[in-house]
Amino acid sequence: MSKKEHGPSLYYATDKNVFDALNLHKVDNPTVMELFQGRNIIVGKKNSREELARHFSRLTHDYYDHKIIANRLGISPRRERVTSMDVVTEEGFDDIKVSIEEYKKELEDSGEVVHVTRDGDSLSLNIQYSTIDYKKNELSQVQVRDGTIEFVKTDNGFTVRNTENEHLTGARDTLLGKIEKGSEKTLEKIEVSLADITSHKLRSKFFHELMLNLPGYTFKDATSVYVYKAIPEVDEEDDATDVDTHIDRIALRGKGVSRSEILNDLLDDEDFYIIKVGWKTKEDLGSGHIYDIEATFTNPKDCVGFSFILNGVFPYEDGKISSKRRSPMKAEITSISHDVEAKSRELVRVLRMESEKENE
């Protein structure tokens, strides 16, 4: 079992911690009223928050009081980006089940909550875990989060899709290590990465093509483009001086950003390359909704760690595209994920060939 990085956050909250927490805007009036009601005190909406916080912080508090406050301070559930890799193997669900069960037990022993569900050709692990951030207010240092690792059966093995963050990517790699050990065969892992394509032009082309030529969709608008230029590396042994002024990333947001002169000047003259894009695209067939997608490389310098998110959907309703964005449904996320993954893999293949040609 892996050793925990941090100890428990707080053994008790001081009157100062409670006072500070109650004065934060995330703690709303109904929560404060609920806390006072537990002590048979009725407070009005117009009572000064500071006054109430001062009074309540002087009383005795128990675990449940802290929990009510901490729940209000916890991070708002925000969907995270998804990353994926293809795993080439002859193993099936029944073969990897043992490794999954073994890993599930390990995670549960270290306090995490794991749910394994199977739906046809897909098997998902939903992992609920907690993270600690000492930079935050004392009562919101422990944050309970969750993420998913999904195995989707393909002709050659599996597509493994997971929530893009350090914890879940680590969990995915550990699990794949266990599966590898169990099968006694090396798994071939294929990730979307441009690490071996060093041409800035081709790296930018990857995102441009992904936006404009996603099969089954009509590109509508590029709403954001982030460009990057790595700081030149200084050789310690060399007598070279440090770079004093260097802009390493620029975010461009608006309409038609991909064909703006500013962007193209940065790409052509300043040697920047695209590392993140946000765009709107319309489904050709089916419902005709407009999807708001974002794709990026987590490591911009090497262009590895490709991830994406379907930010929202502008539904086609009553004969027109609604201006109100709604959250995507599970089926929409699955469909977009499949299409973005397939196109990104194809693009890596094509660009790799172009890169080889360029280098010849």
Residues that bind other proteins (CB under 8 A): 201, 204-205, 208-209, 212-213, 218-221, 256, 258-261, 263-264, 267-268, 284, 288, 318-320
User: CA 343 to CA 330: how far, in whole Å?
Assistant: 20
Least distance CB 191 / other proteins (angstroms): 23
Q: How far is the CB of 322 from other proteins (least distance, A)?
A: 13
User: Shortest distance, CB of residue 21 to other proteins, whole angstroms?
Assistant: 45
Q: Let me know: does 13 contact 142? Beta carbons within 8 Å.
A: no
SS3 at position 276? strand
Give 99 or 204: the residue with its C-beta nearer to other proteins: 204
Tokens of 225: 């483009």
Closest approach of Cβ 209 to other proteins, in Å? 8
Task: Determine the Cα angle at 335 with ends 329 and 339, to 5°.
Answer: 145
Instruction: Say what the alpha-carbon torsion angle 342, 345, 348, 354 is, to the nearest 10 degrees.
Output: -60
Nearer to other proteins, 145 or 205 (CB): 205
Gyration radius (Cα) of the chain, Å: 25
H or E segment and range at residue 105: helix 93-109
Of 28 and 284, the one with the shorter C-beta distance to other proteins is 284
Q: Name the residue nearer to other proteins (CB basis): 144 or 212.
A: 212
Tell me whether residue 117 or residue 218 sits nearer to other proteins (CB atom).
Answer: 218
Query: What is d(CA 85, CA 330) in angstroms, rounded to the nearest whole number?
Result: 20
Single-letter amino acid code for the residue at 259: R
Q: Which of 84/344 has CB closer to other proteins?
A: 344
Cβ contacts of 284 within 8 Å, gap of 6 or more: 216, 217, 218
CB of 222 to other proteins, least distance (A): 9
Q: Closest separation between CB of residue 268 and other proteins, Å?
A: 8
